[in-house]
Chain A
Amino acid sequence: EDKVVQSPLSLVVHEGDTVTLNCSYEVTNFRSLLWYKQEKKAPTFLFMLTSSGIEKKSGRLSSILDKKELFSILNITATQTGDSAIYLCAVNYGGSQGNLIFGKGTKLSVKP
C-alpha cells in the first residue's frame, strides 16, 4: 500500500530553535516529493524535490531528499512564531500527474 508517514506528529519549540521535520514514503513509481505549509487556511507550496542529495533552500527553510532511503527532511532554522503551522509532506507517484498522497502532517508550535 502506498503511504507517506511524517514525524513527529507535533512539536513545540521556542523562538530561535532549529527544527527538523521528517517524511518517509513507500510508493510505486515515485515522481516527486512536495512540502506544504498549512496555517489556518489552505496549504501553500514550499518545495518540490525530485533528485536525491540536492538541497532546496528558501530563507530559513531548507529541504533535502534521499531516494535510496525513501525519506525527506524539512529544516527550519531560527524559528519564529510565524512558523507555527502544520507542515504537510506529499508524494507524487504513478503514471499520472494527479496521483498525490499526503502524510498526516507535523503540527509545529513556536513559543515566544
Chain B
Amino acid sequence: DAGVIQSPRHEVTEMGQEVTLRCKPISGHNSLFWYRQTMMRGLELLIYFNNNVPIDDSGMPEDRFSAKMPNASFSTLKIQPSEPRDSAVYFCASSFSSGGPSAYNEQFFGPGTRLTVL
C-alpha cells in the first residue's frame, strides 16, 4: 500500500500567488482530512470530507482557503491569494469510517507539503 500521497512535497511561492496542494488518500478510505501545522499553533484540522462531501470546514482560516474532493481518490486544498502567514506544513490524512456514531477511526497521515510564502 502506497499510503497517503501528497504533492508537492515542498512549495515556495510569492505572496499573492495561488497555491494548490494535492492529496491522494489510501484506497478504500472514505474520510479525508486536511491539517496545517505551525510552531505557534501546532496541528490544526482545517476541513474534513466523508464520502467526498465536506462535513466540517470550521477550521478553514478564511475565504482564501478552499478545498475540494471531486472523487474518492483525489482532493485539493487551494490558497488564493497566498500570504506569508500561510507558511506551514500541510498534512492530508485518510481513514475508513464505518458510519454512525462511533469511536475514532485511525487516521493515516501523508508526508505533508511544506509551504513557504515569501
* Chain A positions near chain B (C-beta within 8 angstroms): 31-32, 34, 41-45, 48, 50, 88, 90, 92, 95-105
Please give the number of chain B residues whose Cβ is less than 8 angstroms from any Cβ of chain A in the complex. 25
**Chain B: CB-nearest residue to A90:** B43
| Chain A residues, Cβ within 8 Å of B106 | 45, 48
The docked-state distance in angstroms from the alpha carbon of A63 to that of B107 is 19
Q: Most chain-B CB neighbours within 10 Å: which of A92, A98, A104? A: A98
B28 within 8 Å of A (CB atoms)? no
Sample (26) of A-B pairs whose CB atoms are under 8 Å apart: A31-B103, A32-B103, A41-B111, A42-B109, A42-B110, A42-B111, A42-B112, A43-B109, A44-B109, A45-B107, A45-B108, A48-B103, A48-B104, A50-B103, A88-B42, A88-B43, A92-B103, A96-B56, A97-B31, A97-B102, A97-B104, A98-B50, A98-B56, A100-B33, A102-B44, A105-B43
B residues less than 8 Å from A103 (CB atoms) = 42
* In the complex, chain B residues 69-96 whose Cβ is within 8 Å of any chain A Cβ: 91, 93
Residue of A nearest to B97 (CB): A97
Binding site for A on B (CB under 8 A): 31, 33, 42-45, 48, 50, 55-56, 91, 93, 97, 101-112
Residues of A within 8 A of B109 (CB): 42-44
Q: Chain A residues with Cβ under 8 A from B48's Cβ? A: 98
Looking at the assembled complex, report how far the CB atom of B50 sits from the nearest CB atom of chain A, in whole angstroms: 7
